[in-house]
């Protein structure tokens, strides 16, 4: 067979696919391999709860297109390494679900095939969604789910201390926390696990100071803004408002929350689905959500979310993009929200009643709209890990705030050494 030229933006909408029902009508990019040939299958790697539930999303796609999709569900732990190993071993799937923060690294090694510059898949996106998948000004994947960091709180425990909801300014939040602690001195106010970087980076995102300087070749963690955020973070532990513990030591955080071991659970949209599945443990009227506190009121948080990328080695790029288009359709994004609680990136999906009228998703929508994207450098995952490790040592008493920020910059500068070497010689980064 002689294949026609393929252009991603020529793929019909999913509604059109449903009407046509067969691959022969999909156009040149989805032509069959021969008369009577069956459709080639696609492989899709999906991660976490979404990966576990991905098969529920696919029957309509198979019915409409005849394309079978083999899903491999990956745990978040180890997914990043599996992607890199898959590239090295030439075994990447056709379509990949990604933490969008991994895109700079995967772009650097040539693992992803970008969407067309003016792809309709990049339109109708919430603020900041497209920026989250851009590397050097070009979108390298399609935003799929949006997320950020908010406060899930126990209404009853806050009410007992005289608060209907957590205050949104740091000073007032600390007053509330001390009031809760006075009532229950053997318990905690919040849970900032030491291997969770999100709370610290949320506080830091509110300072309006870049995390990296000198064209992203050096750390900027000794800046006044980051020191302020780190001081607030450290104060929560210094006053025993949060336990000094890691995720491996904490056990089931929802059970601990139900038993009142702490009043506020900072978390992301994953908890929406988790709490739906555990209503017997935590009835909906027992908890609510609030924005992340900031220095003077509701503050920013680090943008989080996932994207869908087509592999550089996709066996049938047109079919792969058809799957991406289907998964990004507002109806599919609504279905995802119903199943897992993951939030959409399409503005039209946010207009659906299930999201528009839900106060929990409305709070997330506000937080997402004020989120800050991480630096688009391949080394960012390593940087976050090193910064959080130093922060843990600080909490355990090995550093003061100033010494911790100096150590963070020292470690980050080592990570960025090659990037700095290239920049000093005028080489492309």
> In degrees rounded to 5, what are phi and psi of residue 196?
-100, 110
Q: What is the pTM of this model?
A: 0.84
Is residue 15 over pLDDT 60? no
Token pair in block for residue 101: 């923060």
Q: Which residue has the tokens 């027992």?
A: 286
Q: Could you report the per-residue pLDDT of 92-150, keeping only the tens digit for each?
A: 999 999 999 899 999 999 999 999 988 999 999 987 889 889 998 899 999 999 999 99
* Alpha-carbon separation of residue 139 from 104, 122, 143, 210, 335 (angstroms): 10, 8, 9, 21, 25
Over the stretch 287-346, which tens digit does the pLDDT of each residue have? 999 999 999 999 888 888 899 999 999 999 999 999 999 999 999 998 999 888 899 999
12 has a pLDDT exceeding 80 = no
């Amino acid at each position: 067979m002689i294949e026609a030229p393929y252009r991603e933006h020529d793929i019909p909408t999913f509604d059109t696919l449903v009407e046509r029902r067969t691959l022969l009508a999909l156009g040149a990019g989805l032509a069959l391999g021969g008369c009577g040939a069956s459709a080639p299958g696609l492989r899709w790697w999906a991660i976490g709860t979404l990966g576990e539930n991905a098969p529920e999303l696919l029957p309509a796609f198979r019915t409409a297109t005849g394309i079978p999709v083999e899903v491999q569900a990956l745990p978040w732990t180890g997914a990043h390494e599996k992607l890199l190993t898959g590239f090295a071993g030439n075994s990447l799937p056709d379509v990949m679900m990604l933490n969008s923060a991994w895109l700079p690294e995967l772009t650097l090694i040539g693992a992803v095939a970008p969407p067309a510059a003016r792809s309709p898949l990049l339109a109708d996106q919430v603020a900041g969604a497209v920026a989250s998948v851009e590397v050097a000004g070009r979108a390298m994947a399609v935003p799929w789910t949006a997320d950020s960091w908010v406060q899930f709180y126990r209404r009853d425990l806050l009410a007992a201390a005289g608060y209907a909801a957590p205050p949104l300014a740091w000073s007032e939040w600390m007053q509330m926390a001390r009031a809760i602690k006075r009532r229950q001195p053997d318990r905690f106010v919040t849970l900032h696990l030491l291997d969770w970087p999100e709370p610290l980076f949320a506080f830091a995102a509110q300072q309006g100071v870049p995390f990296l300087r000198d064209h992203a070749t050096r750390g900027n963690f000794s800046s006044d803004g980051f020191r302020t955020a780190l001081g607030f973070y450290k104060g929560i532990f210094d006053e025993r408002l949060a336990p000094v513990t890691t995720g491996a030591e904490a056990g089931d955080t929802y059970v601990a929350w139900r038993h009142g071991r702490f009043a506020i659970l900072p978390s992301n949209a994953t908890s929406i689905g988790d709490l739906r599945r555990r209503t017997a443990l935590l009835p909906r009227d027992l908890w609510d959500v609030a924005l992340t506190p900031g220095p003077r009121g509701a503050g920013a948080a680090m943008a989080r979310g996932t994207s869908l990328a087509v592999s550089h080695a996709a066996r049938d790029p047109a079919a792969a993009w058809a799957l991406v288009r289907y998964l990004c359709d507002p109806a599919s994004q609504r279905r995802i929200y119903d199943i897992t609680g993951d939030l959409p990136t399409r503005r039209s999906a946010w207009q659906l009643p299930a999201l528009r009228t839900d106060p929990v998703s409305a709070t997330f929508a506000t937080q997402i709209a004020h989120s800050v994207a991480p630096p688009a450098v391949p080394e960012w995952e390593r940087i976050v890990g090193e910064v959080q490790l130093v922060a843990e040592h600080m909490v355990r008493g090995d550093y003061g705030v100033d010494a911790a920020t100096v150590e963070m910059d020292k470690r980050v500068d080592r990570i960025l050494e090659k990037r700095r070497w290239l920049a000093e010689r005028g080489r492309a980064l």
